[in-house]
Structure 1
Amino acid sequence: MPTVHVHIWKGFSEEKIKEIIEGITKVFVDMGIPPIAVEVIIHEIPKSHWGIEGKPASESRKDAKPPQ
């Protein structure tokens, strides 16, 4: 049973999270794994807790916004 952990910035819409889960599940289904066997876990992390280039993403990626 594949379990996929996805780390994203906090703020994605529920619709986008649903699309992520469906899309990742489809990859495994296309490989012949039944959808009931696929688990996708979304971890939402505040940009202030995500470091890029030695800075919090809230500083280094101020313009980057999660898709709505």
Structure 2
Amino acid sequence: MERKQFGLGDVVQMKKPHPCGTNAWKVIRMGMDVRIKCTGCEHSVMIPRLEFERKLKKILIRSEEEPES
């Protein structure tokens, strides 16, 4: 099974929509847990990384963060 590569600041689509009707979430924290924020109502949720990877459908917008030299 191929793992989807997501990063901090990416906007992702989850399999189920949020109750506010939006299905786009922004990744705002990564680690053993992933914190995502709804782009519609700005509600944030922290879920375990494995659960997040299982519920992730696709990456909508990749962040364009460049590492500083």
Q: TM-score range by the shorter chain?
A: under 0.3
Task: Work out which structure has the larger RCO, using CA pairs closer than 8 Å and 6 or more positions apart in sequence.
Answer: 1
Please identify which structure carries the higher strand content.
2
Relative to the length of structure 1, the TM-score reads 0.19
Larger Rg: 1
Please identify which structure carries the higher helix content.
1
Relative to the length of structure 2, the TM-score reads 0.19
